[in-house]
Amino acid sequence: MERSMKKKRFNTTGTCIPEKHYMADTTDKINQIIRLIEQEAYFTINRARQYGKTTTLLLLWRRLKESYIVISISFEGMGTEAFQSEDAFVRSFCSRVKSNLKLSGYDEEKQKMWECQDAMENLVTLRERIVDFCEKNEDVLLFIDEVDKSLDNQMFLNFLGMLRELYLERAMGQVTFKSVILSGVYDVKNLKLKLRPDEERKYNSPWNIAVDFQVDMSLSVAEISGMLKDYEAAQDFLIDINGIAQEIYRYTCGYPFLVSLICLWMDERISKDLPLEECWTCRGVHIAVREILKTTNTLFDDMIKNLENHKAFRKFIEGLLFEGEQIPYKLSNPEVNLGVTFGIIGKEKELCKISNIIFETYLYDHFIVGRIIQKQVLQSSRTQFIGEDGQLDMDLVLEKFQEFMKTEYRSSDSDFLEKQGRLLFLCFLKPIINGVGHYVVEPQTRSNARMDIVVFYGRQEYIIELKKWYGPKKHQDGFEQLIEYMENRGQNKGWLLTFCFIKNREKIMEDYTRNIEFVENKRICSVVV
């Protein structure tokens, strides 16, 4: 099949449309949301940016429009003038409802009920219109997308208060919307709102009638596989669907935008330099990730903006990345809450973690560039580390890093080295592999005691375990842990980089810097710095 004949493509901008775009089958998620609607719940679909919220509302509208009257509107583009007075807000709101009913194919009588006839509109007339419409049309649903743009506005608070009042009056027989769904980044139910820039957030949201939204919006390996099956059916070659889906999930933890972005790069961008069949392999996933990490997008921009605008949040992230801090996942903490709200922080065993490898590597690179600009790292020539066969000489990388640390940081205090050691190694490594290779930090092994780094350079993988020195016994344990991980990755070579912060570290560096041959052809190069 000619590529020009493909009817679908992977989409990373705007709403995904099943007829136009390759999409994961999220039927189970939609069914969970529909159960909330059938329970007449009011709630917010609150997830980070580009997490598929708008697409979810579209899929709900398609599923429900035959069984319910579905009013699906967005506050995007309403403008500040629409919130300056009750009259302006009500007219703008009703106009959007009428347009949506027309677009959805509802009859003119239903549309006409949302025409503003009064000389002056207000929330009282809007309330009457809602009640009248719901009395004449059983089971009306209201979906409002992009509510974040209005969260600090008194008019929006008053509107939510009116919906809340109608909701509570249902117990006395009042007719109103069967279910209301708000969609945005923030959980409106728990949000403390402010009405002026110089004011503390002290107004509790009237949306406390809403139920918690517990549906997992991330994509599972099975859901990613379903999307890949749809893609494979349009091609003239077969792909390792499960293997690729697992590798994509390993990098993204199912973040919908990142899943589609990797697929888009494999299908349309790296395929300019490689045969399409070669793009759709695990190596193709690695190449796509490498190239994505060189670029930027609105999601990455927002992540860095929040990092640079909040000093406490930046310190929190640095602690997770470089010091292996074990921070409880507690949403009452403002830094944790901020990270979760923007999709940067996830949860593992009730502890905070960076939500996916792509975000984590992008953050590492951001900090690394800062250190390089500050001249904290020696710039080494890449050529000395590349052999004639084009492979990376990782033994030499660790050897030169040890020399660099002896020369540049001999007099540094142990506390500084303990906090900065891992970052310094990544700063040293990054320029060597930049542009040709990339690295990832394995989330399964990240801790204060150890951290595994996998470097992809050309077609080779290089597994490096970073540990802190806690004595010969723990050092030997590091070999065993590294061998186990090497076996999981199917690799016969590994590198153990140990940071020693005790006073007599010079003797330890001499005694434990050597190559050690293991049985079963497992070779580990051990270096202590």
91 closest CA partner among 46, 67, 123, 62? 123
What average pLDDT score do residues 286-311 get?
94
The band of 4, judged by pLDDT with boundaries at 50, 70 and 90, is very low
End-to-end CA gap in the chain: 56
pLDDT at 281 over 70: yes
Interatomic CA distance for residues 251 and 259, integer angstroms = 9
For Cα atoms 223, 229, 234, give the angle at the middle one, nearest 5 degrees. 140
CB of 26 closer than 8 Å to CB of 222: no
Interatomic CA distance for residues 454 and 463, integer angstroms = 5
User: Among 153-167, 168-182, 392-406, 503-517, which is the least confidently predicted range?
Assistant: 503-517
CATH of domain 27-204: 3.40.50.300
* pLDDT 10s digits, 354-393: 999 999 999 999 998 887 777 655 556 678 898 888 889 9
CB of 221 closer than 8 Å to CB of 246: yes
User: Among 129-133, 479-483, 502-506, which is the least confidently predicted range?
Assistant: 502-506
SS3 category, 414 = helix
Q: Indicate the helix (H) or strand (E) that contains 30.
A: helix 27-38
C-alpha pair distances (Å), 53 with each of 11, 34, 143, 362, 503: 14, 15, 11, 24, 55
DSSP state letter for 81: G
* pLDDT 10s digits, 217-253: 999 999 999 999 999 999 999 999 999 999 999 999 9
pLDDT at 56 over 90: yes
β-pair partners for 346: 353
What helix, strand, coil percent values describe the chain, rounded to 5? 50, 15, 35
DSSP for 255-302, please give it: -HHHHHHHHHIIIIIGGGTS-HHHHSSHHHHHHHHHHHTTS--HHHHH
The band of 445, judged by pLDDT with boundaries at 50, 70 and 90, is low
pLDDT at 18 over 80: yes
What average pLDDT score do residues 285-297 get?
95
Comparing 418 with 62, the larger pLDDT belongs to 62
Percent of the chain with pLDDT over 90: 63
Interatomic CA distance for residues 164 and 171, integer angstroms = 12
Q: Quick one: pLDDT at residue 59? A: 97
C-alpha pair distances (Å), 225 with each of 13, 325, 487: 21, 34, 25
The band of 333, judged by pLDDT with boundaries at 50, 70 and 90, is very high
pLDDT at 80 over 90: no
Q: Quick one: pLDDT at residue 3? A: 46
CB of 482 closer than 8 Å to CB of 494: yes
The band of 480, judged by pLDDT with boundaries at 50, 70 and 90, is confident
* pLDDT 10s digits, 88-139: 999 999 999 999 999 999 999 999 999 997 779 999 999 999 999 999 998 9
* pLDDT 10s digits, 167-224: 999 999 999 999 999 999 988 887 665 445 455 555 567 898 999 999 999 999 999 9
